[in-house]
Amino acid sequence: MLLADYVHPFVYRTGFPQGVPDVDLVLAAGDLPGYYLEYLATKLPVPVLYVPGNHENEYVNEGDGRIPARGVTNIHGRVVTVAGLRIAGWGGVPRYRADGEGQYTDFQARVGLGLLALRARRGVDILLTHAPPTGPHAGTDYAHRGCAAIQTFMDRRHPKLVVHGHIHEYEGKKLSYQDQSSGAEVMNAYGYHIVDI
């Protein structure tokens, strides 16, 4: 199950997961509130992996502070093996304003994703990101442009699937496309989707 950017009413409802095929893994591509991530972890007896988005909302309130969502795993900057799949994660988006959360400079992206590529030197099956790579899923405005360092990672490590968020339905982009240089299928996880890997 892929999710991003939107608390979908079909998922966040009484009776969930009725009507949903069995899933082995949940991949959340950012900008989902902590309560929703915890909800998924309690409703589905499978691993829930996520990367943070650019709104820093993956936390839950507890007492006088905020804590990371429980029962889920943040894989930003990591490579993990779950459900027989090697999955790399990179959260956030390219910087588009000086004081924004979950944003990185081009230099930080090149270094961070370069280190992630070293950790993934044996390859990965899936790359989970918040920002899209450059290409057809990049947004039309500056805040939603693609990330060149993600594309470089794809070209170096050739994941079978790249899952991203950040690009909302109003952009009118196709759900997925085949990246020519890396061979990866690139999917926008906005809302929720069930896919076979």
135-158 residue pLDDT tens = 888 888 888 899 999 999 999 999
> Considering the chain, what is the average pLDDT of its residues?
93
| Higher pLDDT, residue 182 or 137 | 182
Average pLDDT over residues 124-129: 98
**pLDDT computed for residue 174 by the predictor:** 75
Residues 6+ apart with CB under 8 A from 154: 127, 133, 162, 179, 181, 182, 184
Domains of the chain: 2-193 (3.60.21.10)
Find out whether 104 and 92 touch, Cβ atoms under 8 Å. yes
**pLDDT computed for residue 168 by the predictor:** 81
The number of CA neighbours under 13 Å toward the Cβ of 52 is 17
Average pLDDT over residues 171-184: 84
pLDDT greater than 80 at residue 8 = yes
Rounded Cα–Cα distance for residues 73 and 70 (Å): 8
pLDDT band per the 50, 70, 90 thresholds, residue 105: very high
The pLDDT tens digits of the residues spanning 57-103 come to 899 988 889 999 999 999 999 999 999 999 999 999 999 998 888 99
Residue 154 in tokens: 């794809």
The number of CA neighbours under 13 Å toward the Cβ of 17 is 17
CA distances (Å), origin 167, targets 23, 47, 90, 117, 164? 24, 24, 16, 24, 8
**pLDDT computed for residue 171 by the predictor:** 62
Nearest to 163 by CA among 154, 171, 37: 154
DSSP sequence for 130-165: SSPBSSTTS-SSGGG--BHHHHHHHHHH--SEEEE-
pLDDT greater than 80 at residue 46 = yes
DSSP 8-state secondary structure symbol assigned to residue 76: B
**pLDDT computed for residue 197 by the predictor:** 86
